[in-house]
Amino acid sequence: GLYAFKDSFYLDGRRFKIFSGSFHYFRTHPLLWGDRLLRMKAAGLNTVMTYVPWNFHEPRKGQFTLGGLYDLVSFMEQVQKVGLYLIVRPGPYICAEWEFGGFPSWLLRDPKMNLRTSSYTPYLNEVKQYLSQLFAVLTKFTYKHGGPIIAFQVENEFGSKGVHDPEYLQFLVTQYSSWNLNELLFTSDGKKYLSNGTLPDVLATINLNDHAKEDLEELKEFQPERPLMVTEFWAGWFDHWGEEHHHYGTTELERELEAILSLNASVNFYMFIGGTNFGFWNGANYLSYNKDKEASLLGPTVTSYDYDAAVSEWGHVKPKYNVIRNLLKKYSLTPLDLPDVPPTPMKKAYGVVVMQEYMSLDDLITLVPSHQQFETPHMMEHLSGEGQGYGFLLYRSHFVKTSMLIISGQLLDRAHVIINGQLKGIFSYWDELITSFNIPFAEGFLTANDSTVDILVENMGRVNYESLADQLPLLNNQRKGLDGAVRYPRGQQILQWTHVPLEFDDILCENLHSSSRWRPAQTTGLPSGPFVLRGTLHVDSLDPKDTFLKIEQWGRGIVLINGFNLGRYWNVGPQKSLYVPSPILKHGQNEVIIFE
């Protein structure tokens, strides 16, 4: 297998250099994996690197799956078939701008949950169970068993957490040895976090996007007599909603890659293949932290995870792809018989989708089979069963005539407040830190002594990165929903709340498809608050092509096509359209549903 000796890697006893690209199978439709892998092979890479997100494979506790869209086995088989090696980063924490950094939300049902630490046994027990299920599969695909896996990452940027806990890292290493996973183990960190991020017997690697020569020299000083490797060469970056789109130029790429190669270092391009945060899988970052309020402004990541990668979200080869390919050729680091780059996947414009029908929020919630009753508002994670992981949660109660309602606490992350079917306000932790929200009523607005209050709260994405070293809070408190109470002006609480989870899972999508509650949509007369629209996308060819859905005229919401959740849209930008991969389309009529 692969091992490190002095300043080089060796594979089967021969000197070996890793030229890898990050490709997240969970961000690309499985029927398109083969196309993207061929592009990696044609670029001159010899290895694929991927995370494994725990929450993607076990969104409900005890329901671990590797089938369908989650078919990691098929992905590994395709990697090997193309003739590439594989490096796996299985978590339990992955960051990756992915929801909660890959942790499943049901961990937060434990009010004392403490993540990424050796000090909390219930957490360690859950990690051990997860890795046991995963390793039982991965062991069959290791290089020593004839598979493509040549290395594993023990933990992800643990040094930046800002704690010294080698016992936790050793716990993770022990999980590998208990399954006889004897491939190379490594960690990866930024240069200033190396000391807390690894163990003496584990290879330390570095993450960077500039000053490559200086950073690699620091890695060499930290870990002499070991090969140099850049595990994440950030040849692009991700976007938050409301920001400018990020771009990493070919000039910078060429300069830094030259520096990496000149130092005889191995490298992984993060990302090499762009992808998509389908559904509700986008993560978020803290933009600032207010210690007095114990609250943070939130920066949710957009649906596109194109990352300005060498290969775009939709499979288009960008100029930086050829920069990488040509530099590897220049240093004689590619095979002489390098395959041709595959043709760009075809795209097609399918015209305007007219939204012909609509459904009110009241109609929508009748399609949700599980309505839960509690005296006070509960967070998503604390609903009955295994709690709610993602999407929206509607809180509904009734109140008597008053001049005002006061929401005290935190609305995590964005809330529509609706009184008797009329939208009264939108409140968000995205743009300001508020812990008390007033809902005043004009004279005559409340005509009856029994009114209905609806608070529709959206989980905009749990934070995926923590760093005490950077004065950012830890991930232990990423619960979502209404964390507080609703009161009258004199302080009396409104009690008896109905909770309706809107995760847009398979059951709700099927109920939407077959519902008789759809009504003709008109340009006037739509509800003031959230509502659902339905239209038809006509595909005239037997072989559908990739396309894009422009959503600039809408506000904020999600799009479903044939029951597949494309992800979120928001008119604050920078993303202006949603990528529609061809495998979710069919010849003829395709159902398009928008929850606006």
| Angstrom distance (rounded) from CA 166 to CA 223 | 17
Specify whether the CB–CB gap between 39 and 23 falls below 8 A: no
CATH number, span 360-502: 2.60.120.260
pLDDT digits 0-9 by tens, 137-149: 999 999 999 999 9
433 — pLDDT class (breaks 50, 70, 90): low
Residue 314 has pLDDT above 90, yes or no: yes
Q: Is 232 in the active site?
A: yes
User: How deeply is 473 buried, as exposed, middle or buried, from its count of CB atoms within 10 A (0-12, 13-18, 19+)?
Assistant: middle
pTM value is: 0.97
Query: Strand 8-11 relative to strand 14-16: parallel, antiparallel, unpaired?
Result: antiparallel
Q: What is the residue whose two structure tokens read 């199978």? A: 25
CA atoms within 13 A on the CB side of 487: 13
Distance, CA of 20 to CA of 116 (rounded, Å): 27
- pLDDT digits 0-9 by tens, 252-272: 999 999 999 999 999 999 999
Scanning 198-266, the segments in alpha helix (DSSP H) are 212-222, 250-262
Predicted confidence at residue 431, as pLDDT, reads: 62
Kindly report the number of other CB atoms within 10 A of residue 55's CB atom. Answer: 24
> Which pLDDT belongs to residue 529?
83
Q: Strand pairing of 556-561 and 564-570?
A: antiparallel
| Residue 305 contacts residue 273 (beta carbons within 8 Å) | no
Per-residue model confidence as pLDDT tens digits over 349-384: 999 999 999 999 999 999 999 999 999 999 999 999
Annotated active-site residue 254? The verdict is: no
**Region 449-468 average pLDDT:** 95
- 19-22 vs 266-270, strand pairing mode: parallel
Please write the tens of the pLDDT for every residue from 23-69. 999 999 999 999 999 999 999 999 999 999 999 999 999 999 998 88
Cβ atoms of 61 and 104 closer than 8 Å:
yes
170 to 130, 142, 154: CA distances (angstroms): 17, 21, 9
pLDDT at 525: 73
- 145 alpha carbon, distance to own chain's centre: 31
Query: Residue 571's pLDDT is what?
Result: 95
pLDDT at 169 over 60: yes
Q: What is the model's pLDDT at position 430? A: 63
Question: What does the pLDDT read at residue 32?
Answer: 98
CATH number for the segment(s) 505-595? 2.60.120.260
Task: Output the pLDDT for position 524.
Answer: 67
Residue 522 has a pLDDT of 80
Whether the CB-CB separation of 204 and 227 falls below 8 Å is answered with no
What is the rounded CA–CA span in Å between residue 478 and residue 484? 15
Can you tell me whether residue 497 is helix, strand or coil? Answer: strand
204 pLDDT band, cuts 50/70/90, is: very high
For residue 37, the model assigns a pLDDT of: 98
Q: Which of 248, 250, 230, 231 is nearest to 239 (CA)?
A: 248
Which residues neighbour 330 within 8 Å (Cβ) at sequence distance 6 or greater? none
Residues 329-335 have a mean pLDDT of: 89
- How much is the pLDDT for 448? 85
pLDDT score recorded for residue 298: 87
Q: How confident is the model at residue 335 (pLDDT cuts 50, 70, 90)?
A: confident
Amino acid, res. 592: V
Point out the least confidently predicted range of 304-308, 527-531, 579-583.
Answer: 527-531
Q: What angle do CA 183, 26, 32 make, to 5 degrees?
A: 105
CB 563 within 8 A of CB 587: no
Contact by Cβ (8 Å): 562, 509: no
- Of 97, 183, 232, 458, which residue is the catalytic one? 232
The whole-angstrom separation of Cα 528 and Cα 535 is 20
Instruction: Examine the pLDDT at 390 and tell me if it is beyond 70.
Output: yes
H-type alpha helices, 96-140: 121-138
Count H helices and E strands in the chain, helices first: 11, 32
Share of the chain above pLDDT 70, in %: 97
Examine the pLDDT at 127 and tell me if it is beyond 70.
yes
Mean pLDDT of the chain: 95
Residue intervals in the chain for CATH 2.60.120.260: 360-502, 505-595
User: Tokens at residue 210, please?
Assistant: 């500039």
Shortest CA distance to 96 belongs to which of 156, 48, 38, 147? 156
User: Quick one: which H or E segment has residue 203?
Assistant: strand 203-208
Quote the CA–CA distance of 116 and 105 in Å, as a whole number: 15
| Residue 337 pLDDT class (50, 70, 90 cuts) | confident
With contact defined as beta carbons under 8 Å apart, do 201 and 219 qualify?
no
pLDDT band of residue 523 (cuts 50, 70, 90) is low
Report residue 403 as tokens.
Answer: 């001049």
- For the stretch 464-492, pLDDT in tens is 999 887 777 789 989 999 999 999 999 99
Given the candidates 3.30.420.40, 3.30.479.30, 3.20.20.80, 3.40.50.150, the CATH classification of the domain at 16-274+309-330 is 3.20.20.80
**DSSP type of residue 108:** G
Q: Distance from CA of residue 223 to its chain's centroid?
A: 32
Query: Are 483 and 409 a contacting pair, CB within 8 Å?
Result: yes
Of 97, 157, 183, 313, which one is the catalytic site residue? 157
**C-alpha distances in angstroms, 514 versus 154, 355, 538, 563, 570?**
46, 17, 19, 11, 27
CA distances from 336 to 431, 461, 518 (A): 54, 45, 60
Q: What percent of the chain has pLDDT over 90?
A: 90
> Is pLDDT above 80 for 289?
no
Task: Give yes or no for residue 294 having a pLDDT over 60.
Answer: no
Q: Which two tokens stand for residue 330?
A: 């220049």
Q: Is the peptide bond before 404 cis (omega within 30 degrees of 0)?
A: no
Q: What is the pLDDT of residue 295?
A: 57
